[in-house]
Amino acid sequence: MKCSFKTYGLLFLYTLKISAFTFGGGYVIVSLMKKQFVDKLGWLNDDEMLDFTAIAQSSPGAVAVNASILVGNKIGGILGAVTAIIGTVLPPFVLLTAISYIYDIFISIKAIQYLFFGMQAGVIAVICDAVCGLFASVWKESRWLALAACAVAFVLVAFLSVNVILIVIAGIIYGILLYRRGDEKHHAA
Amino acid sequence: MKNIMLLDLFLSFLQIGCFSVGGGLAALPLIEEQIVSVHHWLTADEFAKLITISEMTPGPIAVNSASFVGARIAGVSGALVATLGCILPSCLIVSVLAWLYLKYRGLRLVTSALKGLRPVVVGLIGSAAYSMIQSGWFTPAVLSVGGVDIAAVGLSLVSFFVLRKWKCSPIIVIFGSGCVGLILYLLSLCCSGV
């Protein structure tokens, strides 16, 4: 993809904005990125975002950083990746460095606890919204095996705390076994 | 002396960046080992406070701890060095994976693997939603009835409705519910003041 200076500027601003509001781990940032880069801008499609999520989740390091590298790289090559990393790391870096000087005072302020309480409730809504959207696209394919894979992965991780890497490896093997024999009629990558 | 300190910070967060797979809370034991047991940069109690702050502030927990610990040990340059160490492995490994993905995703083997993986990833994100609901709704904080925080449940449901119905920006929704939290605080002040 050819990129203008303006695209890099926007990429930086979007990743900065998304990172500044990502409370509660990697999947939240993935939900926000999907909303911004897939639904709103159309810079990526749904499938790419899910692939990036899988790669980000199974690579070492923070999921948010990994995801921003993948998204940035897809949008603007190496320079895009660097732009996205800086945008993603800057908010927590500045904030935590500042807080480290005043942290005793910071966590004892009641108003801040309530602010974060409210934001956490909002974050739950955002991630549920993303899950609904993604699940609808699995549902639309109307393959019961895909639905089963989705449900099994959910149960194994949510209730049995099975290691995520194992689940991803199992998903890859399952995909290869299932789709190898040429029934991929509508997948032009 | 300071240079050795910076090198120590860099190397120890480099390890955290290399070996924390799975993100978020999965990385926690590794971070704790480096910061508390090996280097004694924080006490166990300070580490617990760091976790609370990390959960309340944006950003990945590994980057949060790198900035926080780096700044406490060696000021802003410490924060910078620790954060760089922490994200460097990601930058290298994921860039290679990104390149491989864009190059080979047309291959049949890869498309089938990815196709099988997608519904699984949806399940994974679902489980993250589940665990956030666990900690957000069933940890009484503001207005709890029988172990369920109905203020949190209500706020989440309203936010969810707003998101689905008007498709507005998630950031506005998060910010808005944060403001509702502040209003609840003011109300609680008024109530206790009477």
pLDDT at position B193 is 66
Domain total for chain B?
Answer: 2
Domain range holding A128?
A: 5-140
B25: pLDDT confidence band, cut at 50, 70 and 90? low
**Residues A181 and A101 both lie in one domain:** no
**Residues A36 and A121 both lie in one domain:** yes
Are A35 and A29 in contact, with CB atoms under 8 Å apart?
no
**Residues A104 and A125 both lie in one domain:** yes
- Return left, alpha or beta for B167; rule: phi > 0 is left, psi -120 to 50 is alpha, else beta: left
**Residues A124 and A188 both lie in one domain:** no
**Residues A16 and A104 both lie in one domain:** yes
- Bridge-based pairing state of the strands B144-145 and B148-149: antiparallel
Tokens in use for A161? 């705390």
**pLDDT score of B54 more than 80:** no
- Asked if the structure places residue B26 within a domain, the reply is yes
pLDDT at position A83 is 94
pLDDT at position A181 is 62
Asked if B116 has any chain A CB less than 8 Å from its own CB, the reply is: yes
| Among the partner residues B21, B117, B132, nearest to A172 by beta-carbon distance | B117
> In chain B, which residue's Cα lies nearest the Cα of A101?
B72
B1: pLDDT confidence band, cut at 50, 70 and 90? low
Query: Nearest to residue B149, comparing CAs of B140, B158, B157, B159?
Result: B140
pLDDT at position A188 is 38
- A126 contacts on B by Cβ (under 8 Å): 159, 163, 170, 173-174
Residue type, B13: F
pLDDT at position A144 is 83
Task: State phi, psi for A45 to the nearest 5 degrees.
Answer: -105, 175
pLDDT tens-digit profile of A97-117?
A: 998 888 778 777 888 888 888
**Residues A112 and A176 both lie in one domain:** no
Helix, strand and coil percent figures for chain B, each rounded to 5: 85, 5, 15
**Residues B165 and B86 both lie in one domain:** no
Cβ neighbours for A142, distance < 8 A, ≥ 6 positions apart: none
Residue after which a domain boundary falls, among B69, B91, B113: B91
- B113 contacts on A by Cβ (under 8 Å): 172, 175-176
Length of chain A counted residue by residue: 189
B157: pLDDT confidence band, cut at 50, 70 and 90? very high
pLDDT at position A184 is 46
Rounded Cα distance between A54 and B21, Å, is 12
pLDDT at position B27 is 67
- Contact assignment for B125 to A147 by CB distance below 8 Å: no
Are A28 and A22 in contact, with CB atoms under 8 Å apart?
yes
B23: pLDDT confidence band, cut at 50, 70 and 90? low
**pLDDT score of B42 more than 70:** yes
Strand partners for B149 = B144
- Asked if the structure places residue B131 within a domain, the reply is no
User: Which residues of chain A are under the pLDDT cut of 70?
Assistant: 1-3, 24-25, 180-189
pLDDT (average), residues B5-18: 89
Q: Which residue has the higher pLDDT, B67 or A119?
A: B67
- Asked if the structure places residue B103 within a domain, the reply is no
**pLDDT score of B29 more than 80:** no
Rounded Cα distance between A118 and B149, Å, is 12
pLDDT at position B158 is 92
**Residues A125 and A35 both lie in one domain:** yes
**Residues A90 and A169 both lie in one domain:** no
- Asked if the structure places residue B185 within a domain, the reply is yes
Q: DSSP character for A182?
A: T
Q: What is the DSSP string of A31-45?
A: HHHIIIIIIIS-SS-
Mutation to test the A interface, candidates B122, B139, B150, most A Cβ within 10 Å: B122
**Residues A166 and A189 both lie in one domain:** yes
- Asked if the structure places residue B112 within a domain, the reply is no
**Residues A166 and A115 both lie in one domain:** no
Domain total for chain A?
Answer: 2
**Residues B78 and B146 both lie in one domain:** no
Q: Angle formed by the axes of helices A110-140 and B170-193, to 10°?
A: 140
**Residues B78 and B147 both lie in one domain:** no
Size of interface A-B (CB pairs under 8 A): 399
Domain range holding B17?
A: 2-91
**Residues A108 and A148 both lie in one domain:** no
**pLDDT score of B4 more than 80:** yes
B22: pLDDT confidence band, cut at 50, 70 and 90? low
Q: Closest approach of chain A CAs to the CA of B40, in angstroms?
A: 16
**Residues A167 and A128 both lie in one domain:** no
Least trusted range by pLDDT, from A54-68, A171-185, B25-39, B99-113: A171-185
